[in-house]
Amino acid sequence: MIASRCFSHFPAQCQRRLDVINSSPARVSFGCGDQRRDGWSGIDRLGTGADLILDLRRPLPFPTASIDLCHSEHFLEHLFPDEGERHLHEVCRVLKPGGRYRVAVPDFRRFVSHYLAKDDAFFELAFPWPDSHLEAVYCIANWGGEHRNIFDVERLSTMATTAGFSEVTESAANASSLPELQIDISSPQRIAETLYLELIKR
């Protein structure tokens, strides 16, 4: 109800929503920021890459089982845990059977394990900006108050299965079995800090 009321005031956004639903295949990138990906519709509250301006804490304005593929990269950590859970439920709802949601988030366990190992090489690659390894761990967890959740593979997998996804597969950068989902940012720094999972709806 909130989403439909919002769209009724913005005819251009309503048309773009219909364009997403009617595209074949229908592919949606959440929290896209300034990233534009060929063949994908970007959704964000801000950013020049957004085709649809939406608050992704709210219900998605798409019919059930209307979207083929979804993707997000370093977005989910910006939602509080309850917001992230609702987002995953909504994505599972709008995906068609057999659809996938490829999720990339900072891998908090990786940072902690390399911190405990005093691994200078990891931090020089994955997060070289802070003055200390501990500050890097804090930054990846907090990001000036903009990060509201932390993840490892078990936590994100549990959230996904609770949301209704039938299968969760750990992946690596641009290593999806579907060429359409091989769209991760490929800088060495981003790859070093990131956990990649594919959530599959049966």
- Between 151 and 23, residue with greater pLDDT: 151
Q: Which pLDDT does position 24 carry in this prediction? A: 84
Before 81, cis peptide (omega within 30)? no
What percent of the chain lies above the pLDDT cut of 70? 95
Q: Are 41 and 51 in contact (CB under 8 A)?
A: yes
For 86, the token pair is 């609702």
Q: Which pLDDT does position 10 carry in this prediction? A: 64
CA distances from 67 to 40, 56, 200 (A): 11, 16, 13
Its pTM stands at: 0.91
Question: In order of start, what are the domains of the chain with their CATH numbers?
Answer: 2-105+147-184+195-200 (3.40.50.150)
pLDDT in tens, 127-156: 999 999 999 999 999 999 999 999 999 999
Residue 12 amino acid letter: A
Residue 149's φ and ψ, nearest 5 degrees, are -155, 160
pLDDT in tens, 53-111: 999 999 999 999 999 999 999 999 999 999 999 999 999 999 999 999 999 999 999 99
Q: Where are the beta strands (DSSP E) in 16-148?
A: 27-30, 41-44, 52-53, 67-73, 95-106
d(CA 184, CA 178): 12
